[in-house]
A and B are shown apart, each in its own frame.
Chain A
Amino acid sequence: MKPFQYLRPKTIAEAISMAADYPEAQYIAGGTNLVDLMKRGIASPSKLIDINHLPLKKIEHRYDRLRIGALALNSDVAKNKSVLSRQPLLAQALLAGASGQLRNMATVGGNLLQRTRCSYFYDLALPCNKRKPGSGCGAEAGVNRTHAIFFAGNGFGGNEKSSCIAVHPSDMCVALTALDTEVVINGTSGERRVPFKDFHRLSTLQPELDTNLQPGELVTAIEVTDNAFAQHSHYLKVRDRASYAFALVSVAAALQMDGGRIWDARMALGGVAHKPWRYWAIDLMLRGQAPSEKLFREVAEHEMQSAKATTQNAFKIKLTSNAIVAALKAATGIS
C-alpha cells in the first residue's frame, strides 16, 4: 500500500478545506470498501481524511422528511424506529446487504459511494475502463454472468452498449432510488441537494465516474420525503447463496393502496445496471388497477423488453422478470 498522510478534521468546514487543497485526497468513513481498494492498489490516496469525528451521525424526522446523517451506521439505520415505521423498505434493503460486522462499520454516505465488485475492476492485470479509462472492458467478452442487462440509451431508441457493463453493488441505494430521496452535499461553495436519480451515473461516457459528486465534495446527509408506502413495500434480493452475497437481481417495490386498488407505485432494480435502475413507467401501468399476477407479469415483461443480455447473463432477464412479479405480490399481499 502506498504511504499516505492521515488527517482527522473536527469540523465539516475543516474536512472540506483539507480535500479542496489536495486532489488526490480521499475521505474515509467506515472503510469497508476503501481499505479493501487501498490494499489492492486500486485506490491510492495521498491523503486520507478520516471524517468519523464529524457530527453527521444523527437520524431525525423533521417537517415532511427523514434526514439521515452521512455517518449513520447501516446497522443503526436498519433498527431506527423512525426508519422502521416510515421507510421500512430502506431497513429491509439494508438488512439484505453485507454482514452484521460490515453493517456495524459501513455508513450511509459510504454506501452511496461504494464501488462495483466487478472482478475485472478488482484485477490489476486485466483491462477495465472504470479502473483505467481507455484500457477496454474485460467483462464484455469475458466472465459476465453477474453483469448489467440495462444500459444507457435503452427506452430511447438507442440500445447501444456502454463501455462498462459493471453493476452497482448497493442494496440500500436500490431502495432509495424507489423512494423520493435527496442527497445533501457540502463543498467549498456551500451546500447543494441532488435528487437521488441524478446522484449515480450511467457509464456512457466516463465509466471511471460512478457519481456526479465533484472533487472534494462531501456527502453530509440523505433525506427521504414522507410517503404512504409503508404498508405495501417489499425488498426482494436474489443471490447465489442464502445470505452475505451481492445481488444477482434485487427489486425494491413501494406501493400505495386503497380499496383494493393501487394508487401509486414506485420500483427500482438492483444488480442490473451501472446504477440502481428506476422503473419509471410502473406508476402509469399500475395506477387504478387491482393487483393480480397477470397484471404484474405484464408489467414485468414490459420493462424487460429493453433489457439486453451479454454473453453469459441471459438468465438474468427471466430472473428479473420473475423477481418483479414476486416483489409486487409480496408488497400487495396477494398469493
Chain B
Amino acid sequence: MDLDHDAIPPDVPDEDRRFFLKQSMFFAGLSMAPADFLQAALAPDDGPVGNAVKVKLSLTVNGKRRRISIDPRMTLLDLLRENMGLTGTKKGCDFGQCGACTVHVDGRRTLSCLTFAVMQHGAKVTTIEGLSDGEKLHPLQEAFIKHDGFQCGYCTPGQVMSGVACIREGHAGSADEVREYMSGNLCRCGAYPNIVDAILEVKKEGTKV
C-alpha cells in the first residue's frame, strides 16, 4: 500500500486501510450470498455512493509529509478537518465568502474550501496548528490576545492566517491598507478595530512573521 505510516499520527483514520476493509467485507458477504442477491448487488446503480474512484495524493501539512487516498470531490478544507483532524481551520460559509477557512498553500493565503484537495498534490500547506512554535504562540496570535481581536473566536484562525500573510505581503502599512487587504475575512462579532490594531502592532514592532 502506498502509505507513509510514520507521517500519520495514530488518531488519524487510515483511509486506504478502511477502504480495503470495507471492500474485503463486501466480497466476504458476496461469497455466502445466494445467486439472485449476487446479481442485484452487482447492478450498476447499486454500488457504494462516492467510493467509486479514489485518487492518490501527496502533500506536506505543517511540515509533515502526508500520503493519502481520497475522493476527488473532497476540498482541502474537508481533508484537513475530517481526515487529518486539524480542526483549527474553520468551515464558515464553505463558498469562499467569509475567509474562516484561510490557510497558506506554498506560502500564499488561500481559501481551503474553494480548492479540491487533489489539486494541491505536492503543495506545502500551513494551517493555524502549524503557525505556533510548539507551545510558543506566533507574535500575531499573542497580539490578538493582547488587543482582544475576537469575541466568539470562530473567524480567528482565518483572521490570523490572513493577517500573517497580509504583513508578509507588505500590505500592513496603515489601518486603511490593513482593512482593504483583510476584507476577505468577515467577523460577525465585529472585532475589526481590534484585529486591525493587532496586525498594525506586529507590523510596527518589526517581528519576523
Residues in chain A within 8 A of chain B (CB atoms): 1, 3-6, 8, 28, 30-32, 35-36, 39-40, 48, 50, 52, 75, 98-102, 104-105, 242-244
CB pair A100–B53 under 8 Å, yes or no, is no
In the complex, A8 Cα to B58 Cα: how many Å? 14
CB pair A102–B111 under 8 Å, yes or no, is yes
Q: Mark B67-103, 1 if CB is under 8 A from A, else 0.
A: 0000111010000000000000000001110010010
In the complex, A28 Cα to B171 Cα: how many Å? 29
Residues of chain A contacted by B71 (CB below 8 angstroms)? 3
CB pair A35–B184 under 8 Å, yes or no, is no
Residues of chain B contacted by A101 (CB below 8 angstroms)? 99, 102, 109-111, 162, 184
- Smallest distance from the beta carbon of A10 to chain B beta carbons, Å? 13
In the complex, A39 Cα to B184 Cα: how many Å? 20
* Contact A32-B118, Cβ < 8 Å, known A48-B72, A99-B184, A100-B181: no
Considering the complex, give the chain A residue whose CB is closest to the CB of B73: A1
Residues of chain A contacted by B102 (CB below 8 angstroms)? 101
CB pair A98–B72 under 8 Å, yes or no, is no
| A-B residue pairs in contact (CB < 8 Å), sample of 24 | A1-B73, A3-B52, A4-B72, A4-B73, A6-B118, A28-B119, A35-B114, A36-B95, A36-B114, A40-B95, A48-B72, A48-B116, A75-B108, A100-B109, A100-B166, A100-B171, A100-B181, A101-B110, A101-B184, A102-B111, A105-B111, A105-B114, A105-B115, A243-B179
Question: Which 3 residue pairs of A and B lie closest in terms of their CB atoms, listed nearest first?
Answer: A99-B184, A243-B183, A244-B183
- Smallest distance from the beta carbon of B114 to chain A beta carbons, Å? 5
CB pair B184–A31 under 8 Å, yes or no, is no
In the complex, A109 Cα to B98 Cα: how many Å? 24
In the complex, A4 Cα to B53 Cα: how many Å? 9
In the complex, A35 Cα to B118 Cα: how many Å? 13
Q: Mark B28-56, 1 if CB is under 8 A from A, else 0.
A: 00000000000000000000001011010
Task: Kindly identify which residue among A28, A32, A40, A48 contacts B111, using a CB–CB cutoff of 8 Å.
Answer: A32
Q: Mark B173-198, 1 if CB is under 8 A from A, else 0.
A: 00000011111110000000000000
Residue among A31, A52, A100 facing the most chain B CB atoms (10 A cut-off): A100
* Contact A104-B119, Cβ < 8 Å, known A1-B73, A35-B114, A36-B114: no
CB pair B95–A39 under 8 Å, yes or no, is yes
The answer, yes or no, to whether B165 is at the interface (CB within 8 Å) is: yes
Considering the complex, give the chain A residue whose CB is closest to the CB of B75: A35
Residues of chain A contacted by B50 (CB below 8 angstroms)? 3
Considering the complex, give the chain A residue whose CB is closest to the CB of B180: A243
* Contact A31-B109, Cβ < 8 Å, known A3-B53, A244-B183: no
- Smallest distance from the beta carbon of A81 to chain B beta carbons, Å? 15
The answer, yes or no, to whether B169 is at the interface (CB within 8 Å) is: yes
In the complex, A51 Cα to B25 Cα: how many Å? 38
In the complex, A100 Cα to B165 Cα: how many Å? 9
Task: Kindly identify which residue among A8, A40, A100 contacts B184, using a CB–CB cutoff of 8 Å.
Answer: A100
Residues of chain A contacted by B95 (CB below 8 angstroms)? 36, 39-40
CB pair B96–A102 under 8 Å, yes or no, is yes
In the complex, A75 Cα to B110 Cα: how many Å? 12
Residues of chain B contacted by A102 (CB below 8 angstroms)? 96, 111, 114, 184
- If A3-B73, A6-B116, A31-B114 are given as contacts, then 7 extra A-B residue pairs at C-beta distance below 8 Å, sorted by A number, are A31-B116, A35-B114, A36-B96, A48-B72, A50-B118, A100-B166, A102-B114
Considering the complex, give the chain B residue whose CB is closest to the CB of A106: B114
